[in-house]
Amino acid sequence: MRLSPGETHPSVDLDRIDLWDARLYSEGRPHAVWRALRQQAPVHRQELADGRRFWSVVRYADVCRVLRDHEDFTSERGTLLTALDTGDPAGGRMMAATDPPRHGVLRESLNRVLSMKAVEARRDALLKPIDRLLAPLLTGEPTDLAAAAMDFPMDFIGTFMGLPEADWPRLAKLTTMAVAPEDADFQEGSAPLTLVSAHHELFEYFSHQLSARGTTPTDDLIGQLMTTRLDGSPLDHETIVYNCYSLILGANVTTPHTITGLVQALMDHPTAYAKAAADPSLLAGCVEEGLRWSSPASHFMRYATRDVDLGGQRIRAGQAVAAWLGSANRDEDVFTDPDVFDIERRPNRHVAFGFGPHYCVGGALARISLRMLFERIFTRIERVEPAGDVRHLASNFVAGVTSMPVRAVPRDEP
Ligand code: HEM
């Protein structure tokens, strides 16, 4: 997805806005569309050709309200537009599709491996993925950063989940197929077939992993799920499989696009690159601005549990509401000059990791890995330059790229 609204502030015809269409994100300017909606129709309703409808909220305050208020807006009927009105078999079982208070039990369990403190204790597991990502860049030859970045989270979530390394490349591809089935680069057959076969293969895979584990407890995320008790009983096989799926998806489809989005922004702003490289105290803020700027999860969805008035519109019980995080992160009521990339932005209360009870459980892992990665990039690489055309991912959920050729200029070894 293009991360700027475009030079000329193109005019947007509100009657023709189609937030569903994956081509808006691969070919269009979603930030221009979201800006027009924030100004003119902040709570917007769209009807699809097949009659299904959904609301969209695009302002920061409304996005936070919908994501925070689990009593008015449930996660249990599905949280992504791709599954609009299809129901969610994982509702009440997969953490992301479970409302409090049950949600808290699953969350507390996974937090034992994913809290800031727990991730800090496993920092070493992040060194190899960082080296692997940097290796092609350090040759100084053109390299596709999108392809290299796609493997990065798999390289650490694979370790955190205790999965065999030989399986990681296929798992990385399957997760992208599951969230961007319309994208030609990842399609295997038609889009619906891609989605179904990706889900099927991932569920089969985790089911098999689980059966092969036996009963000996392990100190990884799957081991944690195996020892969790909900309502006095251990989690059943299917519930563990759903949560494995959610963990791998959460890590794989978001983190790579923060890397490419932040590198793109730093290539566009070489002064910011030089400044961040020269002053380590700017590193954390640089990553936060990269998260705000790239907002890799464009939306999450909820269903109203009762009639709710929001932004002058009445949302009826049972209707779907997509909360557009990418738009909230450019809301001019919250961020000064939101379309300016500023690594020294203070405060920077972005919602790239969501808001409320479902705030990203992998946030600490993502933050620490990104900080460590960019620290190494700044230390080893003088600058990064574009080396070809960027291809944008066709997905209304993930804001990302499928190809981003770059050439790095390595620093002289001391
Ligand atoms: C830059 C990287 C990441 C971004 C931008 C991101 C974004 C998000 C967002 C916006 C949510 C909220 C979903 C909702 O409200 O329904 C979320 C939840 C979640 N994320 Fe992440 N995520 C990232 C990395 C990760 C990683 C590394 C993992 C795996 C450890 C992960 C696993 C999850 C899970 C399991 C949830 C559900 C949490 C819950 O329901 O309590 N994410 N993420």
- Mutate which of 292, 300, 360, 372 for ligand 1? The one with the most ligand atoms within 8 Å of its CB, which is 360
For ligand 1, atom 12: residue with the closest CA: 354
pLDDT of residue 5: 79
Atom of ligand 1 nearest to the CA of 153: 27
pLDDT of residue 192: 87
pLDDT at position 188 over 90: no
Looking at the domain assignment, is residue 7 inside a domain? no
Q: How far is the CA of 251 from the centre of ligand 1 (A)?
A: 7
Q: How far is the CA of 359 from the centre of ligand 1 (A)?
A: 7
Q: Give me the CATH number covering residue 23.
A: 1.10.630.10
pLDDT of residue 187: 85
Looking at the domain assignment, is residue 344 inside a domain? yes
For ligand 1, atom 20: residue with the closest CA: 360
Looking at the domain assignment, is residue 315 inside a domain? yes
Looking at the domain assignment, is residue 1 inside a domain? no
Q: How far is the CA of 47 from the centre of ligand 1 (A)?
A: 28
Q: Percentage of the chain surpassing pLDDT 90?
A: 88
Region for 84 from its dihedrals, namely left if φ exceeds 0, alpha if ψ lies in -120 to 50, beta otherwise: beta
Cβ pair 361, 110 in contact under 8 A: yes
Q: How far is the CA of 354 from the centre of ligand 1 (A)?
A: 8
pLDDT of residue 227: 92
For ligand 1, atom 30: residue with the closest CA: 362
Looking at the domain assignment, is residue 29 inside a domain? yes
pLDDT at position 8 over 70: no
- Residues 152-179, mean pLDDT to the nearest whole number: 93
For ligand 1, atom 11: residue with the closest CA: 360
Looking at the domain assignment, is residue 343 inside a domain? yes
- Residues 6-35, mean pLDDT to the nearest whole number: 86
Q: How far is the CA of 50 from the centre of ligand 1 (A)?
A: 30
Mean pLDDT over each residue of the chain, to the nearest integer? 94
Looking at the domain assignment, is residue 9 inside a domain? no
The domain tally of the chain equals 1
Q: How far is the CA of 256 from the centre of ligand 1 (A)?
A: 13
pLDDT of residue 157: 95
Residue 9 confidence class, pLDDT cut points 50, 70, 90? low
Q: How far is the CA of 363 from the centre of ligand 1 (A)?
A: 7
- Residues 109-127, mean pLDDT to the nearest whole number: 95
Q: How far is the CA of 299 from the centre of ligand 1 (A)?
A: 12
pLDDT of residue 217: 77
- Residues 201-223, mean pLDDT to the nearest whole number: 90
Residues in contact with ligand 1 by the CB-under-6-Å rule are 67, 75, 79, 95-96, 107, 114, 153, 157, 246-247, 250-251, 254-255, 258, 296-297, 300, 325, 352-354, 358, 360-362, 365-366
Atom of ligand 1 nearest to the CA of 294: 5
For ligand 1, atom 27: residue with the closest CA: 251
Write the pLDDT tens digit of every residue in 123-148: 999 999 999 999 999 999 999 999 99
Domain that residue 388 falls in: 14-410
Looking at the domain assignment, is residue 2 inside a domain? no
